[in-house]
Structure 1
Amino acid sequence: MLEIISKIFTLLGALGVFLYGMRVMSDGLQKVAGNKLHQILNFMTQNRVAAVVTGFLITALVQSSSATTVMVVSFVNASLLSLTQAIGVIMGANIGTTVTTWIVSLIGFKFSITSIALPIVGVGLPLIFSKVKKRRDLGEVLIGFGLLFLGLMFLKESVPDIKEHPEILEFLKNYTNLGFLSFALFVGVGAVLTVIVQSSSAAMAITVTMAAFGWIDFQTAAAIVLGENIGTTVTAYLASLGTSVNARRTARAHFLFNIFGVIWMAFVFRYFLVFIVNISPWDTTGFLAQNVDTSAISKINLPLSLSLFHTVFNILNTFVFIFFIPQIAKFVIRLVPQKSDEVSQKYELKYISTGIQDTAQMNLMNAKQEISKMSNITENMFEIALTVLNNPDKKMDNKVKKVKQLEELTDQMQEEISKYLAECSKEELSEESIENVNVMMRIVHELESVADGIYRFILLSQHKYEHKISFHEKANNEIKIFSNLLKEFIKLNKEYLDGQMPNDELDHAFELEQKVNNLRNDLKKSARKRLQKGADVHAELLYIDLIRYFEHIGDNSLNIAQALKNIH
């Protein structure tokens, strides 16, 4: 009993080293790639073929189809990708995930792993202590790569030879001769296995190892691999919870694409296996024979043939469905309809609702989208406040209430976005990304201050109307000039929230700030002169308070412009 428990924990430990190595390698590759992920994203907007190629490249780059699909769901949630584009990328990701399988099969089962893995870790170790960040990231990739194969070696060693346990072989054979039922059973095993380990690559490594050691035959292993294609969709589904309707549709499209592929394969499974065996350049003796002990040479080549099966299936599946992307999109739109209350419900932080993702660039892009939304809210608040100031009426209470709600929302947004950015800063980021986090924190703070200023001046406008206070005609004209100046300032900042503000526009921002200061001084002088001539003291003091809030909004706007100059 103790021996069995020991073997189970040894197997789990080996799997843990494998998964940890894959995670370290994937994180390192994402850091090395940096902004290139965003550049690749721009390429995918061209057509469906480009989207498939992009999905393949990103997955091959980060060595994780789950990371790619979660990234795609996040892009759709942030309105950076359409549903049809996302489906194409997911198709490419399915092909890209086969790269990991080939690496495992070619190196893990054809060479002595210890002769490769430990030297790779040895090369990576000094690099992670380098002062140059790119070298540290490269060191992380190499160490992750080495750990991945050490985990694979431990996995191989923890799986006992089937000859020592003939009773298990007999047990498995009871379920391998049931025709279609056997196929469905092992597809289910593959799906459950992937859901448990949360990595199709790790599940594939387990499958390949079991096949290589004779625990399962080629047909059974192939069925399990198909199930792993279904199981990997769970990660994207979990990432889509609480996101926009299109993001949820993207996750459903991923599931449908993979499940449809398994369905059509079920009808041609035996013939497809014969096809793979025939085109395989390796010795495949006994792969499709019933109750035949596979030769030693075939056992070594079985992982390669499984990789070939995996790759050819995903390429064919993509080729079949790439022509039906619009139809798949229409189907998932019907499958996941937009609820009537999703449009009218109170706005929530939707772009960062899924939490910190594995991709640093995606996290910062999500934050930018949220900040852009916050900027739109402050602009809307300013328009409502000006309407109340210039055209007061009995219905203004609803508008004041609306601005109050929006101001409370900006408070909430500042807190949530700041927390999110603080979590982002704990991740491994490039120097540019670290600076972007600091700049975005400053912008969020300034936007919240703008919202506070707007709410205060709408309260002054309400007070003015309720107490029947009227300004001098010249004062009303001065306020219109001032408010138009601030509208221009707010609009200028809004235009550059997605990118760096150029020097000429920053100069324009300084000019606007100078105009604000000059106008403030002139208007205060005008108010004092009117007071000296016997004007209403209450009205002029309220007027000066209004100018003061306008000035604060101008100061905050300049701070935002200066921050935008430093964003990358």
Structure 2
Amino acid sequence: MNLTTWLTEAFGFGNPTELVGFVKHIELTQPELYNHLFDNSLPAGHDVMMKIAMMQTSVSYGLSMFHTAFNIVNLSVMIWLTNVYVKIVVALVPGKSEDEEFQLKFISGGLLNASELNLAQAEKELVVYSQRVQRMIGMVQNLIHTRDGSSDFTHLFTRIEKYEEISDRMEIEIASYLNRCSEGRLSNEGKHRIASMLTIVSEIESIADSCYSISKTLIRKRESKVEFNDEIYGNIDAMFTEVEAAMTNMLYLLSNLEHEREQDIIVSYNREREINNLRNQLRTANIANINDHHYEYQAGIYYMDIIGDLEKTGDYIINVVDTIKEQMRTRA
């Protein structure tokens, strides 16, 4: 990781351009501070002015002391204003949303000298990857409630399609990074961690695939001019609620790999059972609803396709949890 990348992340900027703006802002502020210091704002008899006057006896000594004093005062003042500068620069410098472009946050700088540190970076990248895919789930739910044929529908579908492409690239890049890590000197635990992360990254990409599959089902529904009624929408939303809860718990486990607890893993298994039970209930009710003419047969087909993809999403989530659980047992 180079210095610019490190500073960008350390100060919380979205991109290096904002970091440059931050530095320029400080450079412009410093002269203002010292112009104020020497524009007669301080009285002639002030201690600071007296000490500066004493420096005039030796030009070289005075200049060196002035520069040292400049840096000390500058640091003492500017360090308390860092957060203010960050907010100003982020507001002034337009930046692309990191969600809308392919961007690795923790492993883009290449391998570090210490192999185990590389694995820690990869684990952080998995969390970022999962967060992106979770947002994709939310976008798909919004697409379901977006009017067919509208510009909003087309725009949202295009975003989901782009997220799917980014997800594919992230899977490849993370897997490639892990394969390079495996070529270094690693402990047995390190080798197990790599195997676990390779499994996890594949399952996360499968979640993104399921999201994209649902969006394509909605395209087919639109082309067939099929409409869902309120009952179908309500049941789909109920399934999304269960899947979102499972995804959130999976993210919590991924974010706390060194401190995962058995009870948190049990929560994930309970979520998986709830998803399966709801899927079974909705599938049984769907047959009765079609027979009772609650909605047309084709609507029921698309409806069950969506429910099926959401249930698969739950399976991929629990596969990640299984891998985390196995990793926890390996360390024990």
Whether TM-score is above 0.5 comes out as yes
- Whether 1:519 and 2:278 are equivalent positions in the alignment is yes
- Is the 1:384–1:399 contact (alpha carbons within 8 Å) kept by the matching residues of 2? yes
* CA distance in structure 2 between the aligned counterparts of 1:401 and 1:388, rounded to whole angstroms: 11
- Is the 2:102–2:170 contact (alpha carbons within 8 Å) kept by the matching residues of 1? no
Give the drift of 1:75.
5.7
* Alignment of structure 1 residues 109-188 onto 2, 5 Å: none
* CA distance in structure 1 between the aligned counterparts of 2:77 and 2:123, rounded to whole angstroms: 30
Structure-2 residue corresponding to 1:401: 158
Structure-2 residue corresponding to 1:260: none
Give the number of the structure with larger relative contact order, counting CA–CA contacts within 8 Å between residues 6 or more apart.
2
Distance 1:330 1:530, change over 3 A: closer
- Is the 1:516–1:554 contact (alpha carbons within 8 Å) kept by the matching residues of 2? yes
Structure-2 residue corresponding to 1:343: 96
* Alignment of structure 1 residues 83-98 onto 2, 5 Å: none
- Whether 1:510 and 2:269 are equivalent positions in the alignment is yes
* Alignment of structure 1 residues 198-209 onto 2, 5 Å: none
Structure 2 counterpart of 1:527, one-letter code:
N
* CA distance in structure 2 between the aligned counterparts of 1:326 and 1:390, rounded to whole angstroms: 52
Give the drift of 1:470.
2.4
Structure-1 residue corresponding to 2:121: 366
- Is the 1:352–1:367 contact (alpha carbons within 8 Å) kept by the matching residues of 2? yes
- Whether 1:449 and 2:206 are equivalent positions in the alignment is yes
SS at match of 2:254: coil
Cα deviations across residues 352-385 of structure 1 (Å, max 9, x unaligned)? 2211111224322322232222112111111111
Give the drift of 1:522.
1.4
Structure 1 counterpart of 2:103, one-letter code:
E
- Is the 2:247–2:317 contact (alpha carbons within 8 Å) kept by the matching residues of 1? yes
Structure 1 counterpart of 2:289, one-letter code:
R
* CA distance in structure 1 between the aligned counterparts of 2:74 and 2:113, rounded to whole angstroms: 31
Structure-2 residue corresponding to 1:200: none
Structure-2 residue corresponding to 1:245: 16
* CA distance in structure 2 between the aligned counterparts of 1:433 and 1:547, rounded to whole angstroms: 38
* CA distance in structure 2 between the aligned counterparts of 1:370 and 1:450, rounded to whole angstroms: 16
- Select which of 461, 467, 484 maps to 2:224: 467
- Select which of 217, 226, 240 maps to 1:483: 240
Structure-2 residue corresponding to 1:303: none
- Is the 1:425–1:437 contact (alpha carbons within 8 Å) kept by the matching residues of 2? yes
Structure 1 counterpart of 2:96, one-letter code:
V
- Is the 1:351–1:370 contact (alpha carbons within 8 Å) kept by the matching residues of 2? yes
Cα deviations across residues 450-499 of structure 1 (Å, max 9, x unaligned)? 00101111222233344332234433322121110001111111222222
* CA distance in structure 2 between the aligned counterparts of 1:522 and 1:350, rounded to whole angstroms: 41
Structure 1 counterpart of 2:318, one-letter code:
L
Cα deviations across residues 377-396 of structure 1 (Å, max 9, x unaligned)? 11111111111113435121
* CA distance in structure 1 between the aligned counterparts of 2:115 and 2:79, rounded to whole angstroms: 30
Distance 1:246 1:342, change over 3 A: closer
Moved more, 442-451 or 388-397: 388-397
SS at match of 2:143: helix
* CA distance in structure 1 between the aligned counterparts of 2:182 and 2:305, rounded to whole angstroms: 39
- Is the 1:76–1:247 contact (alpha carbons within 8 Å) kept by the matching residues of 2? no
- Whether 1:458 and 2:209 are equivalent positions in the alignment is no
Give the drift of 1:430.
2.6
- Is the 1:442–1:563 contact (alpha carbons within 8 Å) kept by the matching residues of 2? yes
Distance 1:430 1:321, change over 3 A: farther
* CA distance in structure 2 between the aligned counterparts of 1:528 and 1:416, rounded to whole angstroms: 44
- Is the 1:71–1:359 contact (alpha carbons within 8 Å) kept by the matching residues of 2? no
Cα deviations across residues 298-320 of structure 1 (Å, max 9, x unaligned)? xxxxxxxxxxxxxxxxxxx9xx8
Distance 1:360 1:323, change over 3 A: farther
Structure with the greater alpha carbon radius of gyration: 1
* TM-score with structure 2 setting the length: 0.70
* Alignment of structure 1 residues 536-547 onto 2, 5 Å: 536-547=296-307
- Whether 1:432 and 2:165 are equivalent positions in the alignment is no
* CA distance in structure 1 between the aligned counterparts of 2:110 and 2:178, rounded to whole angstroms: 11
Moved more, 513-522 or 340-349: 340-349
Q: Structure 2: give runs of 5+ residues left out of the alignment.
A: 24-59, 62-67
Structure-2 residue corresponding to 1:14: none
* CA distance in structure 2 between the aligned counterparts of 1:437 and 1:466, rounded to whole angstroms: 44
Distance 1:453 1:322, change over 3 A: farther
- Select which of 143, 152, 160 maps to 1:388: 143
Cα deviations across residues 382-434 of structure 1 (Å, max 9, x unaligned)? 11111111343512110000000011000000000000011111111233322
Structure 2 counterpart of 1:367, one-letter code:
A
Percentage identity across aligned positions?
Answer: 22
Q: Structure 1: give runs of 5+ residues left out of the alignment.
A: 1-69, 84-242, 253-266, 269-316
* CA distance in structure 1 between the aligned counterparts of 2:116 and 2:81, rounded to whole angstroms: 30
Distance 1:328 1:245, change over 3 A: farther
- Is the 2:253–2:264 contact (alpha carbons within 8 Å) kept by the matching residues of 1? no
Distance 1:384 1:525, change over 3 A: same
SS at match of 1:428: coil
Structure 1 counterpart of 2:312, one-letter code:
H
* CA distance in structure 2 between the aligned counterparts of 1:418 and 1:325, rounded to whole angstroms: 45
- Select which of 167, 174, 181 maps to 1:417: 174
Distance 1:82 1:564, change over 3 A: farther
Structure 2 counterpart of 1:364, one-letter code:
L
* Alignment of structure 1 residues 292-303 onto 2, 5 Å: none
SS at match of 1:397: helix
* CA distance in structure 2 between the aligned counterparts of 1:455 and 1:448, rounded to whole angstroms: 11
- Is the 1:349–1:370 contact (alpha carbons within 8 Å) kept by the matching residues of 2? yes
Cα deviations across residues 184-223 of structure 1 (Å, max 9, x unaligned)? xxxxxxxxxxxxxxxxxxxxxxxxxxxxxxxxxxxxxxxx
Distance 1:519 1:245, change over 3 A: same
Give the drift of 1:524.
1.2
